[in-house]
Amino acid sequence: MIKISKEFKAGIATIVILGLFYWGFSYLKGRNLLRGGLNSYYTTYQNINGLRKSSAVTVNGFTVGSVIDIYFSQDPAQKGELIVEFTIEEDFKFSKNSIAKIYSAGLMGGKSLAIVPADDDSELAKPGDYLKGDVESDMLSSFTNKLNPLQSKIENAITNIDSVAHDVNVLLSDDMIGNLQSSIENINQILATLNNTSKTIDNVIAKNETNLDATLKSMSATTKNLKVFSDSLAQVKILSISKKINNTAASLDSITAGIQAGNGTLGKLTKDEKLYNNLEQASKELEELLRDMKEHPKRFVHFSLFGKKAKPYKETTDK
């Protein structure tokens, strides 16, 4: 029988203890060594909203990995951003365009990381790739976001109520109440005066009702008479004008008939061709005489400043 030394037993125990310690440490960091190989992926956030190491990584609520590390980025261009490293089981494949979303896993505020696969045919994610990060609003944040507009409306309503209350206080001041009472008294006096005036008018109408009826009847009769007189006068004027027009037309007909018959000067001119010819011949001779007087005035005008007889005119012939 082979004897095992105490030193060997102590070495085996030490190795087992170290293995259990490493497995426990890895498990606490989110690495389950009993599940086989795991792949690491990364994502970045401005605010992780309470996400911790060893938080579960899920797909449709099913745990497929865990968060193993969270640290600040050393890149100056990403100063202040947090890098989250998480592991995924080897048998789960997803698109490189998928989203890593932080969400609330329960009512107590625990955070988990969900992989939201992209619905496309893009390249599959490989270990070491960075996924786009997103943060889902929790119940408190959602309630706060919905409460903010309501709070603003309530504040505006309170401000309006204060303004209305101030206006009411101004209206209910002693001076304003006194002015209202004075205005109401004046309105009552005016109404009373109008009432008395109305009664007086009613009395006057009642006392003179008979006279008013007679006056209205007289006015009606007078209007009818004026209408009849106006119509008669218009008819008389129309008849007189019509007679004058008829007489004028008859005179024109008579004059036209006389001219056509050769009566009178105009009639003779239109009917006696010999008279027309004589007038035309006389007109031509008069025209020739005037032309001769214009061209040879000495034939017709002789005068002397000293009383001598004028020499007889001798007609010269042009050579």
> What are the helix (H) ranges across the chain?
6-28, 139-171, 174-207, 209-261, 264-271, 273-295
Q: Would residue 1 count as lying in a domain?
A: no
For residues 8-22, give the mean pLDDT: 79
Is 189 part of a structural domain of the chain? Answer: no
pLDDT in tens, 115-138: 998 887 778 888 889 999 998 875
Distance CA 80, CA 212 (A): 104
**Max avg pLDDT among 3-12, 149-158, 230-239:** 149-158
Residues 90, 153 within the same domain: no
Residue 83 lies in a domain: yes
Q: Is the pLDDT of residue 24 over 60?
A: yes
User: What's the chain's average pLDDT?
Assistant: 77
The two tokens of residue 282 are 């006389």
For the ranges 179-188, 256-265, 281-290, which has the lowest average pLDDT? 256-265
Please tell me whether residues 33 and 104 are part of one structural domain. yes
pLDDT band at 75 (very low <50, low <70, confident <90, very high): confident
* Most confident region among 28-32, 107-111, 112-116, 153-157 by mean pLDDT: 112-116
Q: Is residue 237 part of a domain?
A: no
pLDDT digits (tens, 9 = 90+) for 232-258: 777 777 777 878 888 887 878 777 777
Q: How confident is the model at residue 269 (pLDDT cuts 50, 70, 90)?
A: low
pLDDT at residue 305 tops 50? no
**pTM metric for this prediction:** 0.37
Residue 70 within any structural domain of the chain = yes
Same domain, 120 and 50: yes
Evaluate whether residue 236 is within a structural domain. no
Task: Please name which of 51, 87, 54, 84 lies closest in space to residue 70, comparing C-alpha atoms.
Answer: 84
**pLDDT for 215 beyond 70:** yes
Q: Is residue 166 part of a domain?
A: yes
User: What does the pLDDT average to over 102-124?
Assistant: 81
Per-residue pLDDT, 83 = 92
pLDDT at 71: 92
Domain count of the fold of the chain: 2
Nearest alpha-carbon partner for 267 in 251, 256, 252 = 256
Segment 34-43 shows an average pLDDT of 70
- What is the rounded CA–CA span in Å between residue 56 and residue 62? 9
- pLDDT the model gives residue 44: 92
Span 183-187, mean pLDDT? 87
* Alpha carbons 14 and 6: distance in angstroms, whole number: 12
235-259 b/e (C-beta count within 10 Å ≥ 16 → b): eeeeeeeeeeeeeeeeeeeeeeeeb
Domain extent at residue 96:
24-136
Same domain, 113 and 101: yes
Based on the fold, state whether residues 121 and 154 are members of the same structural domain. Answer: no
